[in-house]
Each structure stands twice: as C-alpha cells, then as structure tokens.
Structure 1
Amino acid sequence: MARRLRPVGLDFIDDAPVRLVFAAEASAPPEAVYQALAEEVAGWPAWFAAVTLARPTRGGAGREIRLRGGVRFEETIMAAEPEQRYAYRVDTTNAPGVRALLEEWRLTPNRCGTHVRWTFAADGPTAFRLGLAAARPGLGHSFRTAVRALDRRLTARRGADQ
C-alpha cells in the first residue's frame, strides 16, 4: 500500500540522516546525460536495470517510477538545471520504513565527458537506516552499471547521428 512521505526540500541532500553518494564517469557530454535523465524519462528502463517503468506525470513536474521487486514511487521534480543537476523527491511509495527520500544527479563536465554524482538522501527508523547501510554496495553497483549502460546508449546514438 502506498503511503505519503514527509516532504523535504533540496537542503535535505546535505542534511539527511542517511546520505549515500556515488560517482561514475561517462564519455558523453553533460547535455546528452542531462537529456537522458530529465527529458527522456520514459527511456530509463533501457539503461537502468532496476527500473521497470518510468513516466513523466503532472506535465513533467513529476514522475512515476516502478522498480524490479514491485517498489513504486510517485515523485516531484525538485531541480531541473540543464547540464548540471536533476533532483526529485519521493512523495508516495510502497517501500517499507522510508520516511523521506530525495535523489540528486549532479553533472560536471570533465576533459573526457561527464562526471556523474548520484546522492541518495533518506530518513527512516533505525532498522531502515541499517538496511540502507547494508544495501550501499548494491546501490553503488546498480548506479555504476546504469551509468555505463547509459553511456553506451548515448555513444551509439552519437555514432548513428554522424
């Protein structure tokens, strides 16, 4: 059953009781990575294996996300800064324990493409926090695998456009 989470602002990225931060490099430029994240929401399942459905809602102000295993999120876009940052807050979910959740993707150009940093900021009871700590390696692996898959997809697209 879906339940409403505590609404948080962008400052939660820095203030959350649990902050998991992961980074990866993509050879694609920031504008291509941002486009895939923020403008091609429905394409997420093609490169992020944990995502089975992604669709924009409320005229692009929100998202509906479904993950493998049946977890569902209704989200609000909190920041959409082209080529720099994409952040969203989970408003409702069926995931147990979580009280608040905000995710941020930061994009920084580098000489080889884009440095991608994903911050998973959350709050919940002690058992939830311990569970997230235990899940950290898996979340990191899922993120790095997703960025590699996205980069391959964007590289193939650039090749087809040339």
Structure 2
Amino acid sequence: MDKPYKIPESVLVVIHTADLDVLLIERADKAGYWQSVTGSKDREDEPLRQTAVREVFEETGIGVAEEGMPWAENPDAVPSHHLRDWRLSNIYEIYPVWRHRYAPGVVKNTEHVFGLLVPRGIAVTLSPREHVDHVWLPYREAADRCFSPSNAEAILQLPRHLHD
C-alpha cells in the first residue's frame, strides 16, 4: 500500500531549559541540518497540541504528561503545563527536496510554534531513523545553527514566551 501524503500542517516545538538553553537535533537525511522538533499532523483532526506531544516523544524520547498519552503516568514525563502554545504560525514554502511527501501541487506548509520547558539534564533518546545527534546551546547560538529561518526566528522569540 502506498504511504499517505503528509498533511501540510505541522508543529515546531522549541525545547528549552529555564536558563534558555535550547535542544537542537541533527537530521539523519541531511547532515549539518540542525533543528528543533518538527512534525506534521497524523490526521486532519489531530489537535495541534497532541501533534506536539507525539512528535516530541517520537523524536527525543521526552514524554509530556498529557492525558491520554501512553507515557502520561511516567514519573520522568514533563508536566503538561510546561508545553505552551505560543500562538504563532508560519506559512512557508516546502523545500523542493521534501515536496514528494505531499500531495501533488502542495508547496506550502503551515507551522504552529510551541515551547516546552524541561529540566536541565533531561535524557534525550533520538529516533535514529530521523536524527543522528543532539546538542544543547544558549538560545542565540541555537538560532544561528538552525537551517530553517522560521525555526531560528522562533528560538529568538524564546525569552518573551518564557513566562506565557
């Protein structure tokens, strides 16, 4: 069976500590491409918050204690209220190298930005199929390392969303 097309609506989750260090992960399919957690909805009616929680866990192994998620009762899960919807959306052109994942004619994606406050030293377990390395950097350095302009801009906005 053919793999279904990706939905052109996604989340970007800036994972950070209280002192503004940001987690970046390096893409497995593009060496040197560093980013925050990103991912598309699995289905049209999937709530964006659920997409964010799922993608954070799939890509980093960090659980958010969101009701209904399998890891919600895990004592290592980050409290649900630490995941904040920044109410910021970006519409951008999908890089040509990844357009084949979308339905024919789809060239733009709408990305919704979230922030996730985590404790310093939290364990990160990457999905090797998606990412090969991770690093914690002060937020300005993290923004400089991102390949995506919208990701870099979101990271630069972190200080103003820290206490949302």
Which TM-score bucket, shorter chain as reference?
Answer: under 0.3
Is the helix fraction higher in 1 or 2? Answer: 1
TM-score (ref. length: structure 2): 0.28
